[in-house]
Amino acid sequence: MNIGFVSTRLAGTDGVTLETVKWARICRDLGHSTFFCAGQLDPEIRPGLLVPEAHFTHPEVVSLQQRCFGVHTRAPETTEQLHQLRRRLKALIVEFVKKYSIDHWLRDLAQSEGVDMRFVANRFSETRQFDEKGEKIYRLDNLIVSAEHTPPSEFL
């Protein structure tokens, strides 16, 4: 199976990078291929797709952060710029998925069952939890699988 990891940064010794490298090693030990997509990639984290505008220090991201946090209302131009960046990042992630033939078996299975699957790193600490809607959240080390019955089309 081809497994993809996506992050803002996979570099240095921060927790996300270390956990990602750990999970990638486990996946490779199990016979899978791993690929990476991030705004910053350490040279040894390969193969991967570098997407500079995914990094939190990219000038456009910094500008958007300054215009979104600490304000009560957001200018329509800022909202449009956020959506433009979201569309570009989504297109680049789709390119990453296609370039490395990242497997979709879990998403395809979830969609066939009418369930939206989301994977979130470093979010919860309990073995099994319920979200604010009472939906089950299953934890696999630092990987979260959340099952919802109404998948938002933009997420898929």
Looking at the DSSP assignment, which residues form a beta bridge with residue 116?
148
- Looking up tokens 């270390």 gives 18
Distances (CA, A) of 68 to 63, 81, 103, 113, 130: 9, 11, 35, 37, 30
How many residues appear in the chain? 156
The 10 Å Cβ neighbour count of residue 10 is: 24
Q: Return the exposure string of 24-33: e unless at least 16 CB atoms fall within 10 Å of the residue's CB, then b.
A: beebeeeeeb
Beta carbons within 8 Å of 81's beta carbon, 6+ residues apart: 60, 64
Q: Is the pLDDT of residue 8 over 80?
A: yes
Residue 122 has pLDDT above 50, yes or no: no
pLDDT in tens, 9-53: 999 999 899 999 999 999 899 898 999 999 999 998 999 999 999
Q: What percent of the chain has pLDDT over 70?
A: 67
Q: Where are the domains of the chain?
A: 2-99, 105-148
Reduced DSSP (H G I as helix, E B as strand, rest coil) percent helix, strand, coil of the chain, to 5: 40, 25, 40
Q: Name the residue with higher pLDDT: 95 or 123.
A: 95
User: What pLDDT shows up at residue 154?
Assistant: 42
